[in-house]
DNA sequence: CCCAATTGCGTATCTCGTACGCTCTCTGCG
DNA sequence: CGCAGAGAGCGTACGAGATACGCAATTGGG
């Protein structure tokens, strides 16, 4: 795949230059391919998504896919964009803090519905339609802050990165345990075994305290970090109350 | 690779059960394999690291590696641990804020030296020696905060995730531009083309303002986000001054 | 000394992504 | 209207990569 093909594929995702030309009517489309790939990932995880598996799901040949999607990598990027889905619409009168909370929670929910998304390699800045809409949504929520543009971008990156980390953790744990089984006690046991109290007093303090044995609900952990971020942004604005 | 082999390999990394046994003297070791793999990644990027390439660099056969490293995946995890290197030693009398700053900057420096590390898939909680040492270092810096254990862990995850995101962004940009070329103007051009001002007023505001054309130095951006996090943690402690 | 454990690694297999090129189907142009 | 060319589908083939299996050589223990 050349960078021209990548650019062409990005334009295609935005619906640019969709005019019909010569040739047979396509039986396939990028949309159908992405949908089939996402269904496969939902059912069996990202590792199951190969060009031949996707093609089989569409009852077609693997090489046919390349007429519509320039590469496997690009298919993954399109899947990521599909996962993100529709960005939340900013609410009038809403505080920027609540805007961030709603935005982050909505994105987290998308990741939870399609946990494989967090495993997709990041290959560039947001360029596909849904992602760019998500950017817009956050930037609108930050409008009232009056922060300079670079800082708004910084906040966007901070929050988006945080949600992505949360999703990475969730999918990692799910893959390790297969189901909702708790990974904490196993990890605590391993740390007890390998990290002696002499060299690792602080860590062992937490282990012995049972912190890893009874983790907070994932939702709570998520909000803890998010509130740190929101408070941190607030401090930039001389805001004492988040 | 079974989970028993994974556990055995983790123990090996910690130097557990290193007693010599029957059989020929090993000409190879996990350490040598990891070092060769890291050198290869440093020279040509993570994509160049295959078992055969690593073996070739060691003048041995690819299958020999499997006596010392259970899988390619585990080799990647070991490389990540090697990249992290020695954790910083906490400084007596240092504020927790400065502790976080020093910790984050040191970790960022490691990532910058081996940018490929950010591309290594995350497959589980920190279990290898260096990573666990980094955990200990952060937890020690957080000791004086008096935060409950779960919150200390939350802060550790927040900061570590943030540094990882920063590193991911850096390696992504470097791979897109090949060198230190600025990606901003290209991205701005693309956004101007695809994101019209009507549907994307906030984003286009930033684009037209030139925010993407002249990015802040990466170091500055890094510290902006880090200071948001530190301030957010501070707010938890009723600290008004970071 | 013999047997068992360990190391090195050759052979083979399977999976995967995709380049190349052929055939068939449409459309635009002369 | 007819035809050349563009585009869709996809078969064949290839290279690359990870790694299972098993053989030969080297050690240590009984």
The tens digit of pLDDT for each residue in B38-63 reads 999 999 999 999 999 999 999 999 99
3-state secondary structure of B26: coil
Give the pLDDT score at A192.
Answer: 95
From CA B199, how far away is CA A17, in angstroms rounded?
A: 19
Mean pLDDT of chain A: 91
Backbone angles phi, psi at B116, to 5 degrees: -60, -20
**pLDDT tens digits for range A16-57:** 765 667 888 888 999 999 999 999 999 999 999 999 999 999
B61: DSSP letter: -
From CA A233, how far away is CA A239, in angstroms rounded?
A: 8
B146 touches strand C (CB under 7 A): no
Give the pLDDT score at A41.
Answer: 97
From CA A14, how far away is CA A148, in angstroms rounded?
A: 29
Distance (Å) from the alpha carbon of B52 to chain A's nearest alpha carbon: 22
For C15, nearest residue by CA–C1' is: A50
**CA–C1' distance B5–D21 (Å)?**
18
Q: Answer whether residue A239 shows pLDDT above 80.
A: no
Candidates A7, A225, A230: best to mutate against B (most CBs of B within 10 A) is A225
Identify the CATH number of the domain defined by range B85-181+212-236: 1.10.357.10
**Contact between residue A114 and residue A38 where contact means Cβ atoms under 8 Å apart:** yes
| Position A15 confidence tier, pLDDT thresholds 50, 70, 90 | confident
A157 touches strand C (CB under 7 A): no
CA A233 to chain centre: 22
From CA B33, how far away is CA B75, in angstroms rounded?
A: 8
B67 touches strand C (CB under 7 A): yes
Give the pLDDT score at B241.
Answer: 52
**ipTM for the assembly:** 0.93
More confident residue, A77 or A175: A77
Give the pLDDT score at A242.
Answer: 47
Q: What are the residue ranges of helices labelled H in A66-200?
A: 72-84, 96-113, 129-141, 149-177, 184-194
| Position A9 confidence tier, pLDDT thresholds 50, 70, 90 | confident
Q: Where is B58: in which H helix or E strand?
A: none
Weakly modelled stretches of chain B, pLDDT under 70: 1, 17-20, 179-181, 239-242
From CA B149, how far away is CA B154, in angstroms rounded?
A: 9
Burial class (CB in 10 A: 0-12, 13-18, 19+), B59: exposed
Of A119, A200, A242, the CB nearest to B136: A200
**Contact between residue B48 and residue B40 where contact means Cβ atoms under 8 Å apart:** yes
Residue numbers in B near A164 (CB within 8 A): 165
Lowest mean pLDDT among A129-143, A224-238, B120-134, B169-183: B169-183
From CA B17, how far away is CA B11, in angstroms rounded?
A: 8
CA A159 to chain centre: 11
**Under an 8 A CB cutoff, do B14 and A194 touch?**
yes
From CA A184, how far away is CA A162, in angstroms rounded?
A: 21
Of A155, A183, A231, the CB nearest to B235: A231
Closest by CA to B221, choosing from B162, B176, B171, B177, is B162
A52 touches strand C (CB under 7 A): yes
Domain boundaries, chain A: 3-83, 86-181+212-236
Give the pLDDT score at A25.
Answer: 87
Which CA distances in Å does B190 have to A81, A131, A223, B24? 17, 14, 34, 60
Closest by CA to B111, choosing from B137, B75, B135, B82, is B82
**Contact between residue B191 and residue B136 where contact means Cβ atoms under 8 Å apart:** no
Identify the CATH number of the domain defined by range B3-83: 1.10.10.60
For D16, nearest residue by CA–C1' is: B50
**Under an 8 A CB cutoff, do A139 and B233 touch?**
no
Candidates B202, B204, B208: best to mutate against A (most CBs of A within 10 A) is B202
Q: Which residue of B has its CA nearest to A204?
A: B136
Please name the CATH architecture into which domain A86-181+212-236 falls.
Answer: Orthogonal Bundle (1.10)
């Amino acid at each position: 795949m050349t960078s021209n093909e990548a650019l062409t594929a990005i334009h295609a995702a935005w619906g640019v230059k969709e005019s019909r030309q010569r040739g047979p009517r396509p039986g396939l489309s990028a949309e159908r391919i992405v949908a089939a790939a996402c269904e496969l990932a939902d059912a069996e995880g990202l590792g199951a998504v190969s060009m031949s598996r996707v093609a089989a799901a569409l009852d077609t040949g693997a090489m046919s896919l390349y007429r519509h999607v320039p590469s496997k990598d690009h298919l993954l990027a399109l899947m990521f964009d599909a996962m993100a889905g529709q960005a939340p619409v900013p609410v009038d009168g809403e505080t920027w803090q609540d805007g961030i909370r709603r935005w982050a929670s909505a994105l987290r929910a998308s990741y939870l519905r399609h946990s494989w998304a967090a495993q997709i390699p990041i290959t560039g800045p947001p360029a596909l339609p849904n992602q760019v809409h998500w950017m817009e949504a956050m930037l609108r929520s930050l409008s009232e802050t009056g922060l300079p543009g670079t800082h708004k971008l910084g906040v966007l990156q901070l929050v988006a990165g945080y949600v992505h980390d949360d999703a990475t953790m969730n999918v990692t744990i799910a893959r390790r345990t297969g189901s909702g089984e708790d990974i904490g006690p196993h990890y605590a046991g391993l740390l007890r075994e390998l990290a002696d109290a002499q060299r690792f007093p602080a860590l062992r303090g937490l282990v012995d305290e049972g912190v890893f044995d009874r983790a907070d609900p994932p939702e709570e952990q998520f909000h803890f970090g998010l509130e740190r971020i929101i408070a941190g942004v607030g401090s930039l604005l001389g805001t004492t109350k988040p």
